[in-house]
A = this chain, B = another copy of it.
Amino acid sequence: MTGRAGNAIARCMTEDLPFGPALLPAGFVDLLTPDARTEAQGVAALMDVFASHGYDRVRPPLMEFEETYLAGTGAALAEQSFRVMDPDSRRMMVLRPDITPQIARMAATRARGVVRPLRVSYAGTCVVVAPVAAEESGREVMQAGMELIGLDTPEADAEVMSVGAEALSRLGVRDVSFDLTMPPLVPALLEEAGLPDAQRTKVLRALDRKDAAAVAEHGGALASTLIALLEASGPAEYAVAQLAQITLLPGARAIADRLIDTVAALRERCPDLRMTVDPVEFRGWKYHTGVCVTLFAVGRSEELGRGGRYLCNDDEPACGLTFRPNVLFRLTPPAPARPRVYLAQDADQAEAARLRQQGYATIGGFTTGAQALEDARRLGCAHILSGATCAAVS
């Protein structure tokens, strides 16, 4: 028995019909079969992998008070947030553009008394005013992620990333590159070397463009170090070997060594993981205080997820990873449909229940004989149950 006929229906349901762009706001979509099923089952699979490592599910609300949400790490999200007035309190509320600041808030409030390290997972919908990245079109954005709060070690970084890798593997997503960066490294280096502000801005811009000539021009006494760092980029083992040999002042050295240790800890857990390191990259990271990671499917430009180390509520070390199911599930095979059995009017209900338990979908029919056979075909059923007899639809 196969679900092939059912898939024809599925295809029909996901086909775009010409109702024009004005039906729904840009970036909001109707998800039909099988995409909605693939997304739901995929999120459940991610949550199950997280739970198997002790990450307990939490569910913060869709809306919060603006002043609570945008405090601390949420401040960077102000421009991305839709706001409405709460008629109850007369205070402004935001529709969350991101779940992670809510996890930090929960860790400091309702979960403050829970023993550390605290491991939590979450999955839910966010809404952004404009699409996050140029190549993206969605404004309703799903997030599914995990946070490890209360530990600041290379092993903790490695745990989060390796659980993420296991989750991707469970979903059947192959050839994902874990691209590691250390956003605090360059700022610490410039600070420690006492570079004047104007020069610092020029150096940062040059590093951002990976422009070695401009780095040499503006880097002053740091020029050779910075160029060595620029070159210490690529496959993880190559990059950390380079990084280990560069002479750095003590503050920057400690940060670089932490990146090296994290790579080693992650490699120990995931011998086959595709991993790159770029020690000078800092773009797009705002409140991060340690190793960060971006996940790309090889050959594709959209991020599958990202994460990194930060200070939860400015006082507790934390490391998290957030997947973007909207992107991820374009790469996963569609969740299989239950094969369909048409129930003729005289179908035995106990037998129908047995078929459902075995994994079939029984489609209630209200016809008999030739009409039932026609209806079964029309409804994508490969089998028909009449009385207690299940027969193939020829």
Contact of A110 among B19, B60, B140, B337 (CB under 8 A): B19
The CA of A88 and the CA of B31, in the complex, are separated in Å by: 21
A101 CB to nearest B CB, Å: 13
Given B40, B59, B114, which contacts A12 in the complex, CB threshold below 8 Å?
B114
Which B residues lie within 8 Å of A32 (CB)?
Answer: 56, 58, 106, 110-111
- The answer to whether B362 and A155 touch across the interface, beta carbons within 8 angstroms, is no
The A1-57 residues at the B interface (CB cut-off 8 A) are: 9-10, 12-13, 15-17, 19, 22-37, 39-40, 44, 47, 51-54, 56-57
Task: Report the contact-size class of chain A (Cβ under 8 Å from the partner).
Answer: 35 or more
Contacts of A30 in B (CB 8 A): 58-61, 102, 106, 109-110
Interface residues of A in 176-221 (CB under 8 A from B): none
Q: Which of A115, A349, A378 has the most CB of B within 10 A?
A: A115
Q: Is the CB of A57 within 8 A of B40?
A: yes
Query: Is there a chain B Cβ closer than 8 Å to A286's Cβ?
Result: no
Which residues of B have CB within 8 Å of A15? 110, 113
Do A28 and B62 touch across chains, with their CB atoms under 8 A apart?
yes
Q: Which residue of B lies closest to A64 (CB)?
A: B24
Given A12-B114, A52-B362, A364-B53; A39-B25 close (CB under 8 Å): no
**B contact residues around A12 at 8 Å (CB):** 113-115
A87 part of interface (Cβ distance < 8 Å): yes
CB contacts (< 8 Å) of A337 on chain B: these are 56
A127 at the interface (CB under 8 A from B): yes
User: Chain B contacts of A295 at CB under 8 A?
Assistant: none
Cβ–Cβ contact B269 & A349, under 8 A: yes
**CB of A379 closer than 8 Å to a CB of B:** yes
Which 7 A/B pairs are nearest by Cβ-Cβ distance?
Answer: A28-B61, A31-B59, A33-B56, A52-B356, A36-B59, A54-B363, A36-B57
Q: A interface vs B, CB < 8 Å?
A: 9-10, 12-13, 15-17, 19, 22-37, 39-40, 44, 47, 51-54, 56-65, 68, 82-84, 86-89, 91, 93, 95, 102, 106, 109-115, 119-120, 122-125, 127, 129-130, 140, 151, 153, 155-156, 159, 269, 337-338, 340, 349, 356, 360-364, 366, 378-380
Can you list 25 A-B pairs, Cβ within 8 angstroms, ordered by A? A9-B114, A13-B110, A13-B114, A19-B109, A22-B65, A24-B64, A25-B93, A26-B88, A26-B89, A30-B102, A30-B106, A32-B56, A35-B59, A36-B56, A36-B59, A40-B59, A40-B123, A52-B356, A52-B362, A53-B356, A63-B127, A84-B84, A84-B95, A95-B95, A153-B366
Contacts A31-B58, A51-B338, A115-B379 aside, 15 further interface pairs with beta carbons under 8 A come to A9-B56, A12-B113, A13-B114, A15-B110, A23-B68, A25-B61, A28-B64, A31-B60, A36-B57, A53-B362, A54-B338, A54-B361, A84-B95, A87-B130, A88-B130
